[in-house]
Amino acid sequence: MEIIFGRNKKEHLEPVRARVTGKIPAWLQGTLLRNGPGMHTVGETRYNHWFDGLALLHSFTIRDGEVYYRSKYLRSDTYTANIEANRIVVSEFGTMAYPDPCKNIFSKAFSYLSHTIPDFTDNCLINIMRCGEDFYATTETNYIRKINPQTLETLEKVDYRKYVAVNLATSHPHYDAAGNVLNVGTSIVDKGKTKYVIFKIPATVPGGRKEGRSPLKDAEVFCSIAARSLLSPSYYHSFGVTENYVVFLEQPFKLDILKMATAYIRGVSWASCLAFHGEDKTHIHIIDRRTRKPVLTKYHTDPMVVFHHVNAYEEDGCLLFDVIAYEDGSLYQLFYLANLNKDFKENSRLTSVPTLKRFVLPLHVDKNAEVGSNLINLSSTTARALKEKDGQVYCQPELLYEGLELPRINYAHNGKPYRYVFAAGVQWSPIPTKIIKYDILTKSSLKWGEEHCWPAEPLFVPTPGAKDEDDGIILSAIVSTDPQKSPFLLVLDARTFTELARASVDVEMHLDIHGLFIPDAGWDLGKQAPSREAPARAAAGQAAPRT
Ligand SMILES: CC1=C(/C=C/C(C)=C/C=C/C(C)=C/C=O)C(C)(C)CCC1
Ligand SMILES: [Fe+2]
């Protein structure tokens, strides 16, 4: 396990040609670009948590049946400062770092004070976001880093705070058909208020985007929701959208702002400022995208922790949304490297199984409905919504499937009725051992798995001109715990889940987190969410415009 989690991975700046077995469909041309932590020690110092590792971008360029692999560390300010100092000098999720070893009492006091309002890391290791023609590496702080998706070079550092007042923002934005980005962030104690801010970044602007102008300059606040508590806003990792609504969960997994403000002085990490409050409810906020206002009905459900929303849509006056839910916040605990590297089987046992749950909310609550009555009358689900005496609605989900994470869908169905969830299958540990296709209609599943293989998040790419939701392929980077077996890019037929091809690369590959597929130009872009209008000029072979 040490090899997979603990050992620093090398960069491969020049494309490495993979050994392809099987046949990659001729139409599949483009680049799978992914992100994840690749370096966990700097000099003599070591990060505590897997999410702390320095971002390593990697890509698989698929052209005419061949695959080329590259990887490069994100040259974040964090990376540069650490490498220059030859030790960890920037704090991450699970590691608090002390930049200047304080020499005397005065500089010590100054150093502490200057950290009261922390400047977060730009080690953007979680995902890749597309804004029009631009691509960014993302994490959950106020920083994102523009990258060149072809060369994996790091470009400018963008501070969300210059454009919208957020201190944190998710790594899971949504895209509409035109490529406009919708995201949620938290504005902490700004002018005496803590808010969840939904913001929009337009893919294009009237008259066209001027060369070098950041799309962020045209970002706007779509709606904001006051946090229930000024000093303990909820932590969230994603959100949901339907055609007319945004779904935001204010869950009882909270950040303690006072603890954060004193973390540096106390020598503890940001992670220690997060806590699950099993005594609280989960509040479900629904925002009407037409009025940009929250709907008035108050919906809630039992305490739970959700990292990934799967999809959401409207049907017969109801809003359905699917999430991977946990009973508590223990998941992030399992990713401490001390747990992952030694006694792996013992230390990384899931105490709460990630479960696909469907929630159904009535969009209009009948005033005359009796207290205690179920307001949902959809034959397709057993999910219920019970009217309470104060007019609030208590939502009871339908349990769909246990043991899956890192969900993806055919994004052309995002916000719309859909049938298939593609995900990583997890059993006793949070490390995936299978790839799963779950059919919500028939409640059946297909699986892919191989001995010693750990699959990454499976990504769906539709066949050009596809009509069926599962007409396409699944791409997943697979790393192996068997040192004799090279990592590979797996290509599955998304309909049957049979292997079409694999492209093995003789490198030590890191376990990544999230990413996206950038089709080469000239595709049927109408089928290629997120962007239907902007041609994928940044795909391999045609470099993104550099600024
Ligand atoms: C640095 C930092 C944070 C980092 C969070 C990270 C890095 C979360 C990663 C989550 C992942 C990878 C989830 C996968 O499902 C917080 C807590 C937002 C708060 C302030 C500073
Ligand atoms: Fe995620």
Helix count (H) and strand count (E) of the chain? 5, 39
Location of structure tokens 């929303």: 309
Q: Is the CB of 513 under 6 A from ligand 1?
A: yes
State whether residue 468 is helix, strand or coil.
coil
Inform me whether the pLDDT recorded for 115 exceeds 90. no
Ligand 1 pocket test, candidate residues 56, 95, 121, 141, most atoms within 8 A of CB: 141
Beta-bridge partners for 135: 130, 147
pLDDT at position 210 is 77
Place of tokens 């699986």: 447
Residue 147 is which amino acid?
Answer: I
Tokens representing 183 are: 């995201």
Q: Is 141 in the pocket of ligand 1 (CB under 6 A)?
A: yes
In the predicted structure, residue 272 carries a pLDDT above the cut 90:
yes
| Binding site membership of 120 for ligand 1 (Cβ less than 6 Å) | yes
Phi/psi region, residue 406 (left: phi>0; alpha: psi -120 to 50; beta: rest), is left
Instruction: Give the chain's mean pLDDT.
Output: 91
Peptide bond into 483 cis (omega under 30): no
State residue 112's pLDDT score: 54
| Minimum CA distance residue for ligand 1 atom 3 | 93
Dump pLDDT digits (tens) for 434-459. 999 999 999 999 999 999 999 999 99
**Coil, helix or strand at residue 298:** coil
Q: What is the pLDDT of residues 492-543, one digit of tens each?
A: 999 999 999 999 999 999 999 999 999 997 443 334 333 333 333 333 333 3
**What pLDDT score does 427 carry?**
83
Average pLDDT on 81-94 reads 97
ipTM, interface predicted TM-score of the complex: 0.96
Q: Is 237 annotated as a binding residue?
A: yes
Q: Is the pLDDT confidence value at 118 over 80?
A: no
The percentage of the chain sitting over the pLDDT mark of 90, rounded to a whole number, equals: 82
Q: Which atom of ligand 1 is nearest to the CA of 308?
A: 15
Distances from the Cα of 350 to the Cα of 346, 400, 422, 455, 493, angstroms: 10, 19, 21, 18, 30
Lowest mean pLDDT among 46-55, 303-312, 522-531: 522-531
Residue 542 belongs to some domain of the structure: no
260 within domain boundaries: yes
Specify the pairing of strand 299-301 against strand 393-396. Answer: parallel
Q: Residue 536: inside a domain, yes or no?
A: no
Ligand nearest to the CA of 408: 2
- Segment holding 107, helix H or strand E: helix 105-113
Does 545 fall in a domain? Answer: no
Answer yes or no: is pLDDT of 237 > 90.
yes
Residue 174 annotated as lining a ligand binding site:
no
Range of the domain at 511: 2-527
Distance 140 CA to ligand 1 centre (A): 5
pLDDT at residue 346 greater than cutoff 60: yes
Whether 188 maps to a domain, the answer reads yes
pLDDT at residue 382 greater than cutoff 90: yes
Confidence class for position 89, pLDDT limits 50, 70, 90: very high
pLDDT in tens, 65-86: 999 999 999 999 999 999 999 9
Q: Identify whether 344 is part of a domain.
A: yes
Is residue 422's pLDDT more than 70?
Answer: yes
Q: How buried is 255 (Cβ within 10 angstroms: 0-12 exposed, 13-18 middle, 19+ buried)?
A: buried
**Half-sphere exposure (CA, 13 Å, Cβ side) for 449?**
15
Does 340 score more than 80 pLDDT? yes
DSSP codes joined into one string, 179-217: --EEEEEEEEEETTEEEEEEEEE-SS-TT-PPTT--GGG
pLDDT at 230 over 60: yes
Q: What Cα–Cα distance (Å) separates residue 164 from each residue in 190, 195, 208? A: 12, 12, 22
Structural domains of the chain, count: 1
3-state secondary structure 228-280: CCCCCCECCCCCEECCCEEEEEECCEEECHHHHHHHHHHCCCHHHHEEECCCC
pTM for the model: 0.93
Tell me which of 527 and 397 has the higher pLDDT. Answer: 397
Q: Report the C-alpha gap between 76 and 56 in whole angstroms.
A: 11
Report whether pLDDT(547) > 60.
no
- At 380, the pLDDT band (50, 70, 90 cuts) reads very high
**Under DSSP, is residue 144 helix (H, G, I), strand (E, B) or coil?**
strand
Position 107 confidence tier, pLDDT thresholds 50, 70, 90: low
Q: Which atom of ligand 1 is nearest to the CA of 51?
A: 7
When pLDDT is averaged across residues 328-332 and rounded to a whole number, the result is 92
What is residue 544's predicted lDDT score, i.e. its pLDDT? 30
Per-residue pLDDT band at 106 (split at 50, 70, 90) = low
Reduced 3-state DSSP string for 506-534: CCCCCCCCEEEEEECCCCCHHHCCCCCCC
Q: Is residue 222 part of a domain?
A: yes
Whether residue 395 lies inside any domain: the answer is yes
Cβ–ligand 1 distance for 167 under 6 Å, the answer no
Q: pLDDT per residue over 203-219, tens digit each?
A: 988 777 777 778 899 99
Contact status, residue 90 vs residue 121, Cβ threshold 8 Å: yes
> What DSSP string describes 19-64?
EEEE---TT--EEEEEEEEEE-EETTEE-SBGGGSEEEEEEEEEET
